[in-house]
Structures are given as structure tokens and as C-alpha cells.
A and B are shown apart, each in its own frame.
Chain A
Amino acid sequence: MPSFSLSALYMNIHLKLVYVFLYVPIIVLMVLSFNKAGLPTVWSGFSLEWYGKLFENDAILNAAGNTLIVAIISTVLASILGTLLALGVQKAKTNSALDALLFAPMIIPDIVLAIALLSFFTLLEFTLGLHSIILSHVVFNIAFVCAVVRTRLKNFDYSVVEASEDLGASSFTTFRRITLPIIFPGVLAGSLLAFTLSIDEFIIAFFTAGAGASSTTLPMQIYSMIRFGVTPEINAMATIVMMVSFTLVFLSQRINKGITG
């Protein structure tokens, strides 16, 4: 196709500038984390000092541990429930009310969900802690896992299930040996997504954690560090958290792609 040279040139530049816009902040943080001086004004040499200080910071380590606990448990729960939900919904007739319910957790403003849950827990006189965070995270994670698995199910050829049953397998065996292996990449991708979201989630955790260091998650810790005193350790923290997220997302993409090709 003969190209519109002027507009093609503009779009090329625009695209590159957008990538610059997207990545400069991230790169700046990463570079800073290795800056001995810790401030953006002057570069005083490459240093891992801040990473070292990070690992001596008990509060941060504690929060990181909490975050992992919350993420792992909520992901496992959400994956199971979300997958079952997707399987059940797949055969149901298209129902806009049902769809709304399945998508709502993803689109509702997190602050509204956060305070709704806080009110709910308080009203029930439910003590707050890591467990309340976990319960809350499962809600939106179910929706995400369900959405991802449903997409995979769209291309699922249901006749293999029928073939399995025709050959004498029970429903459970069919699920275990036929359905699950086939949808597994989708489940895995959804789980990785849920895990990433849980690790990064701040607002809901903030509201439903209650008081005390025992239920502080990493995002909460980061928030208070940003709010109340910026120390260069944040840059190291930020870099590590970003690298973990990126790796997880990359893996999730790879898994999903590896199957759909």
C-alpha cells in the first residue's frame, strides 16, 4: 500500500515518544536505586547500598512476607472458584445480569469496594487482619481468573468431553484428565494475573487491614514511606517490585501464548 509519508512519519515519532513517556519514569527509578547519593540531582557512583539497607529494614521485610501470604492464599482460592465459575457459566445462556455480576468486581472503583468491605466487616464486628484482606482480594481475583479462563473456553471444543464420556469416563475423570489439562494454561495465566494484582493492590488492603504491623502489606508500607518520608530505599524497593511484576506478567503471557500460538 502506498504510504502516506507525512502522517506515517508523524505516527512513527509519536509512537517512539509515547514509549519514552511510558518508560522514562521506570528507568529513572531503576537507575536511582543504584545511585550512591540516592538523590536524582547528582550521580555519585554505582552502589548497592540501598538494596542492602532494604534487606535490613524489618518493617519492609515483614510487609513483604505479609503480602506474599495474602497473594498466595487469595490466588489459590480465586483460581479454584474462578475456574469453576467459568466452567459453570460457559454452558449458561448469555445473561446480561450474570455478565454484569462477573465483570462488576473488575470495574467497580476500588475505593468504593474498599469502604464497602470495611463497613461490612465492621458491622459484622469481624476483626480485621490479614484474613480480611485475603477475603477481599479473592473477590476481584475471582472475576479476573474467570474472565481469563472464559476466554480460553471460547475455543474449547466440547466434543472432546463428549468423546471421553462416550468412552466410559465419569464426569470427574473427564474433568481431571481431559478438561483440566486443556484449560490449564488459561487457569495458570489467570492465576499469575491474580497474583500480580494482589501483590500490587493497595486501597482495599489499606482499608481492610485494620491496625498493626502484623497486617501491613508491602503496598501499604510503600504508601507510608512515600507519604511520610522519602528515603532512597524506596527506589530499590520499587525496582525489585517492578522486576517481580514484569517477570510474572511476562511468564503469564508466555504461557498463554505457548498454547494459542
Chain B
Amino acid sequence: MSNIVISLSNLNKSFGKTQAIDNVSLDFKENEFFAMLGPSGCGKTTLLRTIAGFETPDDGAVVLQGENITALRANRRPINLMFQSYALFPHMTVAKNIAYGLEMEDLSKPEIDERVADILKLTQLQKLAQRRPDQLSGGQRQRVALARALVKKPKVLLLDEPLGALDKKLRGQMQLELKRMQVEAGITFVIVTHDQEEALVMADRIALMKDGKVAQLGSPHELYERPNSRFVADFIGTMNFFDGYISGKKITLHNGLQLTGCNQDLAEGVDKGSMAVRPERISLHSQQPDNVDNCLQGTIVDMAYHGQDMNVHLEMDKKSARILVKISPGEAEAQGLKLGEKVWCAWSAQNARLLAS
């Protein structure tokens, strides 16, 4: 049972007519990697800035280890923020940038030097200590920004779109690197990102936000496998949706086909909804298979080779949305799938969730 390091309760914040944060309550645990995910405008950055102290909520409280810090100015909070643009001080060397925050703590010079040296070692920046920000690459600047925040040993480290400015290859490396750092530093990292893949890879828990509210809170696995709404299902990964009328665990599509899902936790009286199935959970067959919960026939209208996967697009009928099936290229070859061919696709009820519209 891990302790809670930060607790947000009933936070509200509006800018003019826009409600940026709408009655949000969240708890951040000690030593966890937490991601706030969502499309732009969902309020995640505002929330991050509120925790950091750069926005004051209209009401609600921010509590840090039992202490209410809502009224505390940013420079008094033992929380540090790594800015999206890194905000390195251009007129200072790497070492001076890192030392800056420690100088604000009234530490002795030898102590500051020691801690700076330690963090330089941890982040592999020793050789760059006397360089200025404009003499560093993007990835190096990011490490300096990280070092500058971590050296202060904050209770929580906030990161605003930390990997946004990096190129794709470096991003993959840095995702794992950040994870490693969080584990080594032993403190809570809270990142804000719009990239769902990034959140899935790095986070222990994710809060997916929409319009100032938390749409779903859970582990990456939970959000991926058991989305609680169409928005969540659609945002995370790719998803197939079959629209129709729901009754119990069954859904009747517009063309009359009936499918069976695995859940029945829809609100009372909800009847319009959709079935959500992941592309990789659908199997393809040349003949109609027996002993399956759900199957339907479709025509292959597109096949896209993606190296590891083959994306097969099927069309059930003119009125319905296309179905995306992900199989391995080997399987596609074995089945001899061709464009224009009619095939059967099938999936179990276990892999199909019913969601309200």
C-alpha cells in the first residue's frame, strides 16, 4: 500500500468562459511514474502548472504529504517542473544552470559543488559542464533541464511534454532513459503528454483527460484493454467500432447482425452504443468458422504492409465503417489473402467491450 505524495481535491480553474479544469480530484502515489494524457485543450497542462504553482485554482486544494500548499508560491514548493522548451538560462553554463536552484537554497558553496558534480555524473553531463545551452544538442539540453530540476531533490518532478522536441529515434531511447531515472531517483514523476504511445510505455498509471475532466484513470493495461468510454477506446491505440443497439451483453448492428460482448456495465436505459474490438484480436478465415462468439464476412479493400504487421482493411457493407485487422505478414501469406477477396473475421466476446455512444 504505497503512500500518497500529492492529493488534488475538487480542483476548478476557468479562463474567462473556458472551464480548463472541471472538478478534478487525483492522487499521486510515492515513487510512481504518472502520466496525464489527453488531446490539446483537455486541461492537462493547466493541471500540471497548478501543481507547480504557476496557476491558482478557483477552488479546490493541492495537498503535499498532508500539507495544504494551494496558497504557496511556486518558488516555495518542493516540487520542480521541467519545461517543454527546457527554459535553460542561455547566459549561464550547464554547471551554473544546475547550480542555480541550489543557490536559492542557501547551501554552502562546497555542498553545491558536490551535488552538482553528483548529478552531472548521474546524467552523463560531466564533459559538457562548461558549455552553454546553445552549444548543446536537443537531447543534451533535455538532460540539463532534467539535472537542474533533479538536483534539488524535489518530492515530485513534473515534466511538460518532455520528449516533444526530440526526433523519433531519440525519443524511443529517452522514454526508457526517463523510466530508469525515475526508478533510480526514487521520486514521483508526473508527465504531461498528448502521445498515447509514450504514456503507455512509460507510465505506471495514466489519467486520460478530456475537457477538463479525468475520463479514465488506470494502468496502461487497464486503459488499453478495458476502456470505459468511446473516447478512451478511440484515443488509446487503434480500435474498431461497431455501432448499434445494445441489450444486455448483446449489440444489434444496423444491418441486423448480432454480436456478443463481455461487459454489461452500461448505464440504465442506454441502448445506443458500440462494440469496441482491437484490430489484433480479430482473426481471419477463408471459411466461416464454428465455435466463435462473433464472426462476420467482409471484402478485403486494402492491405498495407508495415514490416511487423499487415494491416488488412475489410468492408462489411457500404453503410458501415471499415474494419481494421492486424495480422502477421506470415499469416497473411499462409492464408493467401488477396485484394477483393471475401473473408470471414472472428473474435471472442472476451475481447469485445460494449460502450455507450
A residues with CB within 8 A of B: 1-2
Contacts and interface: CB of A to CB of B under 8 A. Distances in A.
A43 B54 CA distance: 54
A2 B53 CA distance: 8
A2 B55 CA distance: 7
7 contacts: A1-B54, A1-B55, A2-B53, A2-B54, A2-B56, A2-B73, A2-B74
Contacts of A1: 54-55
Nearest to A1: B54
Contacts of B74: 2
B11 to A, nearest CB: 16
B20 to A, nearest CB: 15
Interface of B: 53-56, 73-74
B72 to A, nearest CB: 10
Contacts of B73: 2
Label chain A's interface by main secondary structure: loop
B16 to A, nearest CB: 16
Contacts of A2: 53-54, 56, 73-74
Contacts of B56: 2
A2 B57 CA distance: 11
Nearest to B74: A2
B79 to A, nearest CB: 15
A44 B129 CA distance: 74
Which are the 7 A-B pairs with shortest beta-carbon distances? A1-B54, A2-B56, A2-B73, A2-B53, A2-B74, A1-B55, A2-B54
Nearest to A4: B73
A117 to B, nearest CB: 43
A255 B32 CA distance: 56
Contacts of B53: 2
A2 B76 CA distance: 13
A2 B56 CA distance: 7
A205 to B, nearest CB: 45
A1 B74 CA distance: 10
A110 B56 CA distance: 53
B57 to A, nearest CB: 12
Nearest to B53: A2
Contacts of B55: 1
A218 to B, nearest CB: 48
A29 B84 CA distance: 52
B68 to A, nearest CB: 16
A142 to B, nearest CB: 36
Nearest to B55: A1
A2 to B, nearest CB: 6
A2 B54 CA distance: 7
A1 B73 CA distance: 10
B245 to A, nearest CB: 50
A169 to B, nearest CB: 41
A173 to B, nearest CB: 44
